[in-house]
Chain A
Amino acid sequence: MKKENSNENFVEVRHLKKYFPAGLKGTTRQYVKAVDDVSFSIKKGTTMGLVGESGCGKTTVGRTMLRLYPITAGEVFFDGVKINDLSRRDLRKMRPRMQMIFQDPYSSLSPRMPVGEIIGEAVREHNIVPKEDLDNYVSDIMNACGLPYRYSRRYPHEFSGGQRQRICIARAVALKPDFIICDEPVSALDVSIQAQIINLLQNLQEEFGYTYLFISHDLSVVEYISDTIGVMYLGSMVEYGDKKSIFKHPMHPYTQALLSAVPIPDPDHKMNRVILEGDIPSPINPPSGCKFRTRCEYASDICSKIKPEFNNYLDGHEHEVACHLYPQDHQEQRVIS
């Protein structure tokens, strides 16, 4: 396993594509383009937030990165190792280092397995700690995640949503991972519990230096936890960059609409919403050119013809956007009316 990418980026995704077959239309096979050419990288010990509405492919990005789904095209590097090429055996050995926390704490725990076994099962399988230390290790992990060890014989259904999410985190953390994909870990939880889980994730990151990919539709949570943010729309990334830059100066019309739609919990705040018309188009036949053009009020001719490229416009900030509103490299500076 030789290192192929630069050392700086701990996790790197290049032109990732994931198509799901979706039946036949006439004689041609149709595909749901769930993820269509997505690239990003995460530095070690940082958190990248991935936001977008349901069906934009953000969950699929996470699952494809771990090869839970076969990769259609593109490359995924993890700590210098190209995930695409790994054999089943090597991948299985790699698994503990890349963990995932799922959205639904109810369906992501096997209902007929006691909690201690859920957490300890893979630890034993991968020989992460010596056999005789396993109980103590599970006990430590459970404590670290805010679960008393005496619960280890209980079954998942005896816990509340927040506690179940703690169990999921404990299962992931127990494998001593480097990289954790958090797929909407708090969207099924209540506000006060949400804060507990976010704090737990942050404390663990501080303690063990985890790298997170934090997938969520909740912009305020992503804003709080992330260092960099990627905004996805219909399988593609439309804006990517430093958190502060994105939240202060959202450039893509979709990001702007998304940010303005988040209800601010302050009665004095007069919402200045950009109401997007219509619904997300079908990912089977996405619009040509820029995928957002069907709902974009600034759309012009060029948007339907040429797919906009990612470009950085802000000096000194890591902030890229794919939009024809801003001058593209391959053409003359365009005047936008």
Chain B
Amino acid sequence: MSNKENNRDNTQYLTIKEEKAIARENKKIMTQFEREKNRKNVDESEYTTQMRNPSNVIEFDNLHTYFYTDVGVNKAVNGVSFVVPEGKIVGIVGESGCGKSVTSLSAMQLVQGPVGQIVDGSIRYTTSEGKCYDIAKMPRDEMRRIRGKEISMIFQEPMTSLNPVFKIGEQLDEALEIYNENLSASEIKARSIEMLELVGIADPENIYSNYPHELSGGMRQRVMIAMALICEPRLIIADEPTTALDVTIQAQILDLLLEVKDSIKGSIMLITHDLGVIANMADYVVVMYAGKIVEAGEINDIFKNPKHPYTVGLMRSLPSLSNIENQEKLFSIPGQVPNAVNLPDYCYFCNRCDYSFDACYESYPEDILFEDGHRAACFLYADRFKDLDLNRPQLPKNIASSSDDQFARKIPQGRVDFESINNPKEKL
């Protein structure tokens, strides 16, 4: 390879000067934010606010969460606004690095400081006592009253989310004890066992005194759910709760989540990259791309009538939705997600988009509202370009209509009737 010296690219690295400038800037900003967060005795009025709509559990309003990294400012969440209505499941979909997890961590104030900071925007949340707080401005000490009790989280990895040296029961009891100091030890234990029963663990008394390593992955995720529910939170954030599990176990856990949501009358923010899971669980869907929401709306709007080219591309690239019968090539979105450190000032998706035109390279598109709160950030639907003869993405017929054979895949259960299959009239 030595004879191709000219092919060598050294442009990919920062110069020392650039690096120093970034480090200086980061330090300045980070110390400022940390000082703000560590203040003691903050007056409550500073972070009390009013919900826009009292029927929402949580409202994200223009949230910006940045990471001040060594190579520059990573705008992980860059102006995200959506709400979680009471008793509903809101699904957040997007590829890795699109900021869906950071959004949820921001709601818990769990963003790793001092590098990660909520820079702008607000997260309004009403506690069970009826007070409305802005989580983005809440001091660290106050936040402890909300975490776990009001908002709880289910993580992706059931293997690493439980402490291996404590028994399951001890970990459950601890979560309960913190917020209910007046309960006796036996009451706490009874409640823990009751929770284990609720999440469908067959032998709760026994599991109570087991260690995490003695349980299978599915069982551990059940314990994680029990732990998240034990204080009866109003909002459960489930961050990829089934990604690490097998499909048959995933089906169990998803059913369980739906059940427990009703039994504690909570809302769920379900973060996943699996559109199949979203379609089965969510009432509303938020599609994120590179730190921004590209499309949001009710489940049927998103799946039946997606507007943004990214959403359409995502749907079309699913093998299960493609026309397998005709052995057509799978649709794929070319290129890669832009790096969150160096985002352009125009649409982030345009260089992967088959429908982009001039305007896409000039500014970032504003949200276009369709009927019933369905919105997409794309110039293709802007009023001022309405008259242009542009291609607008459409789902192919076979995907859009669910009466298609693909979806009606009837799975026989138990014995298969050979007569009908071996009938030569019906070709496979």
Contact = CB atoms under 8 A, between A and B. Distances in A.
Given A192-B95, A336-B415, A153 B8 contact: yes
Contact of B96 (A150, A154, A190, A267): A190
Contact of B320 (A160, A244, A262, A325): A262
Contacts, number: 194
A196 interface: yes
Interface residues of A, number: 76
Nearest to B282: A267
Contacts of B413: 253, 256, 260, 274
Contacts of A135: 1, 3-4
A271 B280 contact: yes
Contact of B414 (A158, A217, A253, A262): A253
Contacts of A190: 95-96, 273, 337
A11 to B, nearest CB: 22
A264 B279 contact: yes
A150 B315 CA distance: 33
B402 A266 contact: yes
B321 interface: yes
Given A135-B3, A263-B276, A265-B279, A199 B300 contact: no
Nearest to A279: B216
A162 interface: yes
Residue in A190, A272, A315 whose Cβ sees the most chain B Cβ within 10 Å:
A190
B322 interface: yes
Contacts of B280: 263-264, 267, 269, 271
Contact of B428 (A150, A154, A248, A256): A248
B95 A224 contact: no
B24 interface: no
A133 to B, nearest CB: 12
B150 to A, nearest CB: 29
A261 B428 contact: no
Contacts of B16: none
B186 to A, nearest CB: 31
A162 B414 CA distance: 40
Contacts of B255: 273, 275
B183 interface: no
Contact of B418 (A120, A154, A258, A313): A313
A168 B24 CA distance: 39
B270 interface: no
Interface string A184-195: 000000111111
Interface residues of B, number: 64
A193 B3 contact: no
Interface in B396-428: 402, 407, 409, 411-416, 418, 421-422, 428
Contacts of B251: 260-261, 263, 271, 273, 275-276
A3 interface: no
A192 B330 contact: no
B414 A298 contact: yes
B108 to A, nearest CB: 24
A258 B248 CA distance: 6
B247 interface: yes
B330 A195 contact: yes
Interface in B297-345: 299-300, 303-304, 313-315, 317-322, 324, 329-334, 336-337
Nearest to A116: B1
Contacts of A162: 336
B329 to A, nearest CB: 6
B219 interface: yes
Contact of A154 (B4, B12, B330, B407): B12
A317 B428 contact: yes
B274 A263 contact: yes
Nearest to B216: A279
Contacts of B317: 191-192, 194-195
Interface in A179-237: 190-196, 198-199, 202, 217, 219-221, 223-225
Nearest to B93: A191
A334 to B, nearest CB: 11
A135 to B, nearest CB: 6
B278 interface: yes
A117 B2 CA distance: 12
A258 B247 contact: yes
Contacts of A54: 246
B300 A263 contact: no
A90 B332 CA distance: 41
A267 B303 contact: yes
B129 to A, nearest CB: 35
A250 B412 CA distance: 7
20 contacts: A138-B1, A150-B9, A153-B7, A162-B336, A190-B95, A192-B317, A195-B333, A198-B319, A217-B247, A244-B428, A247-B409, A249-B416, A262-B320, A264-B409, A268-B300, A269-B402, A272-B411, A274-B411, A279-B219, A314-B422
Given A120-B1, A160-B336, A192-B95, 4 more contacts: A190-B96, A196-B334, A267-B299, A275-B251
When A and B form their complex, which 5 residue pairs have the shortest distance between CB atoms, in order from nearest?
A263-B276, A220-B320, A224-B319, A195-B332, A195-B317
Interface of A: 53-54, 116-117, 120, 135, 138, 149-154, 158, 160-163, 190-196, 198-199, 202, 217, 219-221, 223-225, 242, 244-245, 247-251, 253, 256-269, 271-276, 279-280, 297-298, 313-317, 325-326, 336
